Amino acid sequence: MSGKALRLEGLTKRYGAVTAVDQLNLNIPPGIIFGLLGPNGAGKTTTLEMTEGLRRPDEGRVWLGEVDLIRHPAEAKRRFGVQLQTSAFFELLTVKETLELFQSLYSHPLRVGDLVGRMDLEEKRNARVDGLSGGQRQRLALAVALVNDPEVVFLDEPSAGLDPQARRNLWEVIVGLKAEGRTVVLTTHYMDEAEMLADRLAIMDHGRVLDEGAPRELIERHLPAAVIEVDRSTGIGTDTNLPALVRIEEREEVMALVTQHLEDTLTGLVAWASQHGRQLTGLKTRSATLEDVFLELTGRSLRE
Amino acid sequence: MKPVITLLRSLLRQTVRNRQGLFWTLFFPVVLMVVFSLLGNTKSQVSLAVVTSRSTSAGVVRIMEKSPLFHVRTMGRRAALAAVRSGRMDAALLVPAAPRARTTTLALRYNPANSLSAQQAVGAVQALVAQADLMLSGRPPLFRVRATPLVHARASTYLDFLLPGVLALMTMQNSLFGIGSGLTRWKEKGILRRFRVTPLQPLQFLGAAIMNYLLVGLASSAIIIGFATGLLHASVDIPLGPVTLVLLLGMGCFLAFGFIVAGVSRSQEATIPIINLISFPMMFLSGVFFPISSLPKILTHIVDYFPLTYVSGALRGLMSGQLTWHDAAFRGDLLGMAVWLVLGGAVAARVWRWE
């Protein structure tokens, strides 16, 4: 793989009064797994579609190395491999026929044997698409995305609807793509997936990038220490004052105390409980996760 | 060109493997033709109950029995009349005892409820009796008719009339449903989107899809023609060039309409009522099942310009041997289809959306 950086400059897309993507800038170095993390409606898919050439941005440029892909969309189509959020293929064709059909669209395609081998579809080579399971369809969609030996692979919510085993297999495949020197750009709203796979992450909401960096970096930058959780029945309010506390959040069943210094806050909490005669039921401490970063940045949960 | 051919091959495979779709494409026309060929092939023999008395002149009855026109059964008077009333026999001929007067009156009783076979029966009996009269009297006839069949003429059955209509109907239904419904489905499921992130040009995709429908349309027309002529003994002309041209032009018109339907409707379910709205009036008015001339005059002024009218008119003219390349009427039909194709294509190009 030659390795060219992918740059999005000031990408903007408006639908009437709604700005779906707003002056978005991203610099994606070659050969990494780049994650776009955000809730539904954050503008991840629109961003991906403008980059892939499916949608024309109202403003902005997309560069692959020195090539302006908005001006030369054919280049994007030649060099990119795309897995759409809903990938449908002709139901009555076999896996092999489907791959052959997509091979015919490119000048230097990979061989069918390699593709089915890598995606573990050998047994299903002559099975019709309508007889494939969800996981097998997903692997076929990935195989089709790789047919043209692409430099950049776009995966839009690749693990949506997969069972845990299939997700793990998919992650292995994605890591394998990086090992071959390809750049992988994926969207997800699964924290663990983003944390596990992505070398770099951009957290998006309302069409903007809120922050960008390696997953650990983002956590450290926004949440230096930890989270203490106690049951709501404890009666602690969001306005309770404790040492080293960043803030207190009401989550579904628990109160989450986000802190910069775990020991100080914990000591304070114990003192508060004995002073007010309360039991600290369900007390639990953990280090901050991307979920907490996300809440910190957007004020809302990823699955909202 | 290679992508188009591979795509076309994929689409054809998809069509051939869709057993249910194929079945319904061919089932309706086949059933129509079988039903109408059973109903419409009027039987050529008149069933005649002959009531004789002991002293009847045997000559008349013998002549009746020999004639291929009649299926004769001799029976008693009461049984004969009952058979005519119930419709089991077309008519009863009451032959009296040996003639006393110079003219013997043969009474023919028929059931007027079944007017077609009644007319046939009365006419045939009158003709035969006149002939018998001459033969029995031994006089030389003043006139004689020599019947020679014409080479190109044939007894046109309803099936012969129906076949071109059914072909026209198939042309419309397959094209409208194929594009209107099939393409909307692909659009809805995201199959079209998937091709848009490949180097395949939109026009290449459309070209392959259109070729697919044209080939499938021609093949199913050939099957229906083969079925009608081979198994149901329809006797029609098939001037290959002109018939193919009319089928292609007709499919072109309705494919364009299909694109319009697929362009304006948001979901596959929404296409069905729109397609029905377009196809139902034409199915019943455009000369598929009965000639347009049987419609009220005012209506024909409109129906004459329906695209299906051009297709069914041209096909029927060609297949009944009444139209050739050189007829102005045939060229008029071609022109009508071409105008619809251009209009439909122009609108389709404006309203068609990939997403």
A171, A138 contact by CB (below 8 A): no
Same domain as A262, residue A176: no
What tokens does B206 get?
């459309």
**Domain count for chain A:** 2
Amino acid at A81: G
Q: What is the pLDDT, as a whole number, of residue B45?
A: 67
Contacts of B18 in chain A (CB under 8 A): 92
Other residues' Cβ atoms within 10 Å of the Cβ of residue B285: 19
ipTM of the prediction? 0.79
Q: What is the pLDDT, as a whole number, of residue B318?
A: 93
Low-confidence ranges of chain A (pLDDT < 70): 1-2, 223-225, 299-304
Same domain as A231, residue A203: no
* Least Cα separation, residue B281 to chain A (angstroms): 33
Same domain as A245, residue A182: no
Cβ <8 Å between B198 and A77: yes
The residue of chain A nearest to residue B187, with distances taken between CA atoms, is: A88
Cβ <8 Å between A105 and B200: yes
Starting at the edge strand found earlier in the chain, the sheet holding A200-205 runs: A80-83, A152-156, A183-188, A33-37, A200-205, A208-213
Is A54 strand, coil or helix? coil
Amino acid at B12: L
The residue of chain B nearest to residue A72, with distances taken between CA atoms, is: B199
* Dihedral sign from CA coordinates of B132, B135, B139, B143: positive
d(C-alpha A288, C-alpha B175), whole Å: 60
Same domain as A89, residue A169: yes
Nearest to A258 by CA among A234, A222, A282, A232: A222
Which of A69, A85, A86 would you mutate first to test chain B, the one with the most B CBs within 10 A?
A86
* Least Cα separation, residue A143 to chain B (angstroms): 13
- Residue A209 β-bridge partners: A204
Q: Find the farthest-apart pair of alpha carbons in chain B and give their distance in angstroms, rounded.
A: 99
Residue A146: inside a domain: yes
Same domain as A258, residue A126: no
Contacts of B183 in chain A (CB under 8 A): none
CATH code of residue A178: 3.40.50.300
Same domain as A175, residue A255: no
Cβ <8 Å between A106 and B190: no
Task: Please compute, for residue A40, the number of CA atoms within 13 A of its CA located in the half-sphere on the CB side.
Answer: 4
Which of A105, A126, A129, A154 would you mutate first to test chain B, the one with the most B CBs within 10 A?
A105
Residue A302: inside a domain: no
Cβ <8 Å between A53 and B197: yes
Same domain as A166, residue A121: yes
Cβ <8 Å between B194 and A97: no
Same domain as A92, residue A16: yes
Strands A18-28 and A6-15, bridge-based pairing: antiparallel
The residue of chain B nearest to residue A52, with distances taken between CA atoms, is: B197
Q: What is the pLDDT of residues B124-180, one digit of tens each?
A: 778 777 777 777 777 777 776 666 555 444 456 788 889 999 999 999 999 998 888
Q: What is the mean pLDDT of chain A?
A: 88
| Helix, strand, coil percent values for chain A (each to nearest 5) | 35, 30, 35
Cβ <8 Å between A84 and B193: yes
Q: Which domain holds residue A120?
A: 6-214
Contacts of A108 in chain B (CB under 8 A): none
Architecture of domain B46-137: 3-Layer(aba) Sandwich (3.40)
Q: What is the pLDDT, as a whole number, of residue B153?
A: 45
Q: What is the pLDDT, as a whole number, of residue B151?
A: 46
Residue A134: inside a domain: yes
Cβ <8 Å between B6 and A101: yes
Residue A234: inside a domain: yes
What residue spans define the domains of chain B?
Answer: 2-39+157-351, 46-137
Residue A299: inside a domain: no
The structure tokens 């059973």 sit at B38
Contacts of A88 in chain B (CB under 8 A): 186, 189-191, 194
Is A190 strand, coil or helix? coil
Same domain as A237, residue A208: no
A184, A178 contact by CB (below 8 A): yes
Cβ <8 Å between A97 and B10: yes
The structure tokens 């002709």 sit at A90
Strands B70-74 and A183-188, bridge-based pairing: unpaired
Same domain as A255, residue A196: no
What tokens does B327 get?
């007829």
Q: What is the pLDDT of residues A125-166, one digit of tens each?
A: 999 999 998 889 989 999 999 999 999 999 998 888 888 888
Cβ <8 Å between B199 and A92: no
A28, A183 contact by CB (below 8 A): yes
| Torsions phi, psi for A37 (to 5 deg) | -115, 135
* Dihedral sign from CA coordinates of A219, A221, A225, A226: negative
* Least Cα separation, residue B347 to chain A (angstroms): 24
* Least Cα separation, residue A197 to chain B (angstroms): 25
Q: What is the pLDDT, as a whole number, of residue A301?
A: 61
Starting at the edge strand found earlier in the chain, the sheet holding B91-94 runs: B70-74, B46-51, B91-94, B107-110
d(C-alpha B352, C-alpha B210), whole Å: 14
Is A257 strand, coil or helix? strand
Contacts of B190 in chain A (CB under 8 A): 84, 86-88
| Torsions phi, psi for B106 (to 5 deg) | -95, 120
Q: What is the pLDDT, as a whole number, of residue A148?
A: 94
Specify the length of chain A in residues.
304
d(C-alpha A116, C-alpha A99), whole Å: 9
What tokens does A282 get?
């369900």
Contacts of A86 in chain B (CB under 8 A): 189-190
Which of A48, A92, A95, A147 would you mutate first to test chain B, the one with the most B CBs within 10 A?
A92
Same domain as A113, residue A239: no
Cβ <8 Å between A82 and B190: no
Domain boundary among A214, A240, A275: A214
Q: Which of A54, A88, A148 sits opposite B191 (nearest CB)?
A: A88
Give me the helices (H) in A16-145, please. Answer: 44-52, 73-79, 95-103, 112-118, 134-145
Q: What is the pLDDT of residues B199-235, one digit of tens each?
A: 998 889 989 999 999 999 999 999 999 999 998 888 8
Nearest to B106 by CA among B76, B82, B130, B138: B130
pLDDT in tens, chain B (355 residues): 788 999 999 999 998 998 888 888 888 889 888 888 777 555 556 778 888 776 666 666 777 777 777 778 888 888 888 888 887 788 888 877 765 556 777 788 887 776 666 777 778 778 777 777 777 777 777 776 666 555 444 456 788 889 999 999 999 999 998 888 888 888 888 898 899 999 998 889 989 999 999 999 999 999 999 999 998 888 888 999 999 999 999 999 999 999 999 888 878 888 888 899 999 999 989 988 888 888 888 888 899 999 999 999 999 999 988 888 888 999 999 999 999 999 999 999 898 887 7
Same domain as A96, residue A43: yes
Domain boundary among A172, A191, A214: A214
Q: Which of A88, A105, A128 sits opposite B3 (nearest CB)?
A: A105
d(C-alpha A114, C-alpha A116), whole Å: 6
d(C-alpha B50, C-alpha B92), whole Å: 6
Q: Which of A86, A93, A128 sits opposite B10 (nearest CB)?
A: A93
